[in-house]
Chain A
Amino acid sequence: MDTIQLAAQFRAKVVEMSHIAKAAHLASSLSCMDIITVLYHSILQLDPKNPQWTERDRFILSKGHAATALYVALEYKNFITKANLATYGQVGSLLEEHPTPKLPGVEAATGSLGHGLPIGCGIALAGKIKKQTYRTFVLMSDGECNEGSVWEACLFAAANKLENLCAFVDFNKWQATGRSKEILALEPLAEKFRSFGWLVHEIDGHDHSQLLKAIRKPHIGQQKPTMIIAHTVKGKDISFMEDDNNWHYRIPTEEEVAFARTELGIL
């Protein structure tokens, strides 16, 4: 199965999970799904049998509210079972609406925004000190860039030349209550990161070949951390959710789940 089909399957699954668990943030999971699909299918070196393998690549979903996007990928990589996945949001399940590090394959507790990048800096720094070759990936939302800790981490990563650190902004142009460029002065985002000393790649965050190319760009010897600004659409690939911020919180009905599956070509 190619990554495009895989992403469609993942999208169908998270729509269903949101419906069953009556859990919000569906559109946020949909917007970053291609980034996560490409990472888990083609990039991350992981060992599900040994989730703490010291040489593994690290992925931190800093926008923890998109937890379902991470869970479907963890199930795909066999960190969790299909039966585990079905417990999402239920009493006694470790698959909470924001990821817990108690769940195999989850590197950090996220859900409060602005935590992933500093933690990612620490993990990347440890790799440098120990001369290990793993890469550290952190996925943030554009709204998350409101948090001062993101910019503290940007200064730190550049100062310490964390070239083994690669962050993404899932730039879907929305945050919980409005347009991200209107709530705070987010733009010009790429220039901000460049001026903070990062290598910046701006791409279509739904184009898998662009994602692969940007992630695989040489980082060793660059002396700079990498920021991939992935332009995305919130609610991507489900026509009635695309760019409609109501789906930050809305829960799909049974009919909407069926319609979404049809649109995704998942029958």
Chain B
Amino acid sequence: MRNMFAKTVTELSDVYPDLVMLAGDIGNKLFDALKEKHPNRFLNCGVAEANMTGVAAGLAASGMRPITYTITPFNTIRCLEQIRLDVCYPNLPVIIVGTGAGLSYAGLGATHHSMEDIALLRTLPNMHVVCPADPIEVRLAVTDALKLGVPTYIRLGKKGEPIVHQTEPHFEIGKGICIREGVDIALLGVGNMLADTVKIAEELQSNGVSAQVISLHTIKPLDQLLLTSIFLEKKLIVVLEEHALIGGASSAILEWGCDNGLDVRKLMRFGGPDQFLLACGSQIEARKLVGLTLENIAQKILGRLR
């Protein structure tokens, strides 16, 4: 995802003459082409995320279109107050991009895990929270965020994620994308869980369950129309996210469903536990630790349907 992100930003730097890329001492080589084209529109801000976010706010307040980029927890939790007061309060068009969604950097330890970012960012007024599922969605999310011109958090995985979309979908921040039709239940895959969500639907199909698959790439604002229809039509709605269950996408849907009189008992949630994870190994191993595996999820869904 991060390669596509850099490629997209480099391309769009010609479309948006005020686009400025701010990086927190990361991804230098990724942006070589951008630096070559527009040397004064790439800034390595060093390991100083609070300042980087404030600088982005100052740039945006002066008519520029800044994008900040570093590892997810450092670009979100570390500088949360700058995001809240400098960016969100004045509603400035700053795009905050974190690489390393969820357990992408599992082996680097809890310092680099990002299981709380959606929860924290979505509570901030004016903020939009977008979790692209594959490189194609990354390109579309960055493009749409620049069009929207509002505070936007884009949560990337790392690199080498599988491409889920066979063709380029219609993408709009705030609108989910139907990947696969299904009549019995709906599976809502968030960000880097979408590829596995499709596989789970296939597994369910072989067990006689017809599952619709939706890429729920935007957590804020939620796609209320889409959610309303699936709550009314499906007997089970399953949310899969590489994020803590506390405060994540499924939590947002629960809050919204409760406030809007929908039957939230239909909701089934898969995400991370309320604990720091130790000795995870790879992302795949880490997902096993928290139960985010195809087999476990498919079994639990089938169990619930029985």
Partners in one complex: yes
A180 to B131, CA, bound (A): 44
- The interface stretch among A27-35, A111-119, A195-203 is A111-119
| A77 CB → nearest B CB, Å | 19
Interface membership of chain B positions 51-89, coded 1 if the CB is closer than 8 angstroms to chain A and 0 otherwise: 111111111111110100000000000000110011001
A115 x B51 contact (CB < 8 A): no
A142 touches B (CB below 8 Å)? no
B46 x A122 contact (CB < 8 A): no
A129 touches B (CB below 8 Å)? yes
Most buried by A among B51, B60, B82: B51
A152 x B20 contact (CB < 8 A): no
Residue of B nearest to A102 (CB): B90
- The interface stretch among B2-10, B37-45, B171-179, B224-232 is B37-45
Interface membership of chain A positions 110-143, coded 1 if the CB is closer than 8 angstroms to chain B and 0 otherwise: 0010110111111111111110000000000000
| B40 CB → nearest A CB, Å | 6
Number of contacting residues on A, CB 8 A? 31
B50 touches A (CB below 8 Å)? yes
A54 to B64, CA, bound (A): 12
A160 to B11, CA, bound (A): 25
| A240 CB → nearest B CB, Å | 35
B85 x A115 contact (CB < 8 A): yes
- The main secondary structure of chain A at its interface with chain B is helix
A107 to B90, CA, bound (A): 9
Partner of A152 from B40, B50, B57, B61 at Cβ < 8 Å: B50
A155 touches B (CB below 8 Å)? yes
A127 to B18, CA, bound (A): 12
A109 x B89 contact (CB < 8 A): yes
A130 to B46, CA, bound (A): 23
B63 x A119 contact (CB < 8 A): no
B58 x A122 contact (CB < 8 A): yes
Chain A residues whose C-beta falls within 8 Å of the C-beta of B209 in the assembled complex: none
Residue of B nearest to A129 (CB): B40
B50 x A130 contact (CB < 8 A): no
A108 to B81, CA, bound (A): 14
Residue of B nearest to A60 (CB): B58
Chain B residues whose C-beta falls within 8 Å of the C-beta of A112 in the assembled complex: 81, 85
Interface membership of chain B positions 90-116, coded 1 if the CB is closer than 8 angstroms to chain A and 0 otherwise: 100000000000000000000000000
Q: Which A68-119 residues sit within 8 Å CB-CB of chain B? A: 100-101, 107-109, 112, 114-115, 117-119
B48 touches A (CB below 8 Å)? yes
Residue of B nearest to A124 (CB): B58
A202 to B23, CA, bound (A): 34
Given contacts A54-B63, A129-B41, contact A101 B90 (CB under 8 A): yes
B48 x A152 contact (CB < 8 A): yes
A115 x B89 contact (CB < 8 A): no
B59 x A123 contact (CB < 8 A): yes
Chain B residues whose C-beta falls within 8 Å of the C-beta of A155 in the assembled complex: 46, 48, 51
Chain B residues whose C-beta falls within 8 Å of the C-beta of A100 in the assembled complex: 89
Residue of B nearest to A149 (CB): B50
A156 to B68, CA, bound (A): 15
A153 touches B (CB below 8 Å)? yes
CB-CB nearest 9 A-B residue pairs: A122-B58, A118-B54, A126-B62, A152-B51, A152-B48, A122-B55, A123-B58, A119-B58, A149-B50
Interface residues of B (CB under 8 A from A): 20, 40-41, 43, 45-46, 48, 50-64, 66, 81-82, 85-86, 89-90
Other than the given A122-B66, A155-B48, 15 more pairs (CB < 8 A) read A118-B51, A118-B53, A118-B54, A118-B57, A119-B86, A120-B58, A122-B55, A122-B58, A123-B62, A127-B62, A129-B40, A129-B64, A130-B62, A155-B46, A156-B48
